[in-house]
Chains A and B, each alone.
Chain A
Amino acid sequence: MADGTLDSELIVLQNNWGMAPTVNGSLNCPQGGLIGSNHHNVAAPTYQVGTVIQVYNNGSAGKVGMAELIYLQVGTQNADSVIAAKTAVVPDSATVWYQITNDPDSCIKLPSGLGAFGLSAITDAYYGWFWCGGICPEAFVSGLAGNFATEGNVIAGHITYHDLAADTVGIGPYATTEGFAGFALAQDA
């Protein structure tokens, strides 16, 4: 099946990371913006891993509403198609839950209900912000506007993260089973 696209304004993300926006961080954009160089795409984390912030997208770009972003680390990204703005990412490591990748051939599990989207290019093993909940925060990160890659079979309704024909991670239709309670990083013993 040929891959497709879905406009940023047609997506609402469910935050499945199990971490709520921090009281002090909510509605506050980090210094220098979400992709500020002192905290985004950095070798040493400047926030606690898993920190979630909520910002209000005022509609100057994209739709009005709340967006959530989570502070994660890139593991090893897809060598053939590196992470950029709008790239879907999913868990990468069976030991470090907050490491993500866009490589469908080397990730924990696909399809997956657990994932996020890159805000910019980011280096392997570096830390930064990823869009994980609510509407697309285009007013904060203009690179998030436009088309997001899909599997070409998404219908209106629930979505999950899938392995695309382009050999990267993107959006696919919810076709798995019952509602999930969590996400295991490995098989049981």
Chain B
Amino acid sequence: MADSTIDSNLILLYDNWPGPVEETGQPYGTGFLDKRHHNVATPAFAPGTKVQVYNATLGVPGFSTLIYLQVGTQDGTSIAVKTACIPDSATLWYQLTNDPDSCIKIPTPLGCYAISAITNAYWGWFWCAGVVPEDDLPTMGGTYLTNEGVDAGGFIFHACDTIVGIDIAHAAPEVEAGFALAADA
């Protein structure tokens, strides 16, 4: 199936990542893209730290949550702003990739979106819940990659032609309560 797109104003993300929002408002410095904490080799926040911001002007009004995670090994088509990312490592829950051929599991409801290009093994912020945070990150506006299957309603992270995107769920297993990083013994 050919890939397609959906506009940023038409997406709400559920927060399937563990832990509460710890801070409200942008992190210190010049915002989420500040070079002291985004796209950095050494984490400036604890893995999984979440902050919530209010999006008032660009895009649609509402709250957005961003989570602090690490990139594992990304696809040959590199992570950029608006790239969907999902778990990459069977030992480090907070490592992400956009490579559908080398990830823990896909389709999956556990994922998030990059807010910029980011280096392998580096740390930074990812949009994980609510409306798109276009006020603080204007480049998040626009179209998001889909598998040309998204319909109005619930969606999951899904393999697209090259990298991870979104689609409706096609299979029918039981409802998921969590996310295993590897098969059982």
Contacts and interface: CB of A to CB of B under 8 A. Distances in A.
Interface of A: 16-24, 48-52, 94-98, 108-109, 112-114, 157-158, 174, 176-189
A184 B6 contact: yes
A184 B143 contact: no
A180 B131 CA distance: 16
The majority secondary structure among interface residues of chain A is loop
Interface stretch (B28-36, B72-80, B153-161): B153-161
Contact of B109 (A52, A112, A180): A180
B130 A184 contact: no
A96 B6 contact: no
A63 to B, nearest CB: 22
Interface in B74-115: 107-111
Nearest to A175: B172
B154 A183 contact: yes
B11 A182 contact: yes
B5 A97 contact: no
Given A94-B10, A177-B170, A178-B109, A19 B151 contact: no
A186 B176 contact: no
A158 B173 CA distance: 13
Contacts of B150: 184, 187-188
A50 B171 CA distance: 32
Given A178-B109, A184-B155, 5 more contacts: A18-B129, A98-B61, A108-B153, A183-B12, A184-B154
B153 A183 contact: yes
Closest 3 CB pairs of A and B: A109-B153, A177-B169, A180-B154
B21 interface: yes
A185 B153 CA distance: 6
A50 B10 CA distance: 15
Given A20-B65, A97-B131, A189-B6, A176 B21 contact: no
A185 B172 contact: no
Given A19-B63, A20-B15, A22-B24, A181 B109 contact: yes
Given A109-B153, A179-B16, A181-B156, A189 B143 contact: yes
Contacts of B10: 94, 184-186
Contacts of A95: 9
Contacts of A50: 61-63, 130-131
B173 A94 contact: no
A16 B65 CA distance: 13
Given A18-B65, A183-B154, A188 B4 contact: yes
Interface in B54-73: 54, 56, 60-63, 65
Interface in B157-182: 157, 166, 168-173, 175-176
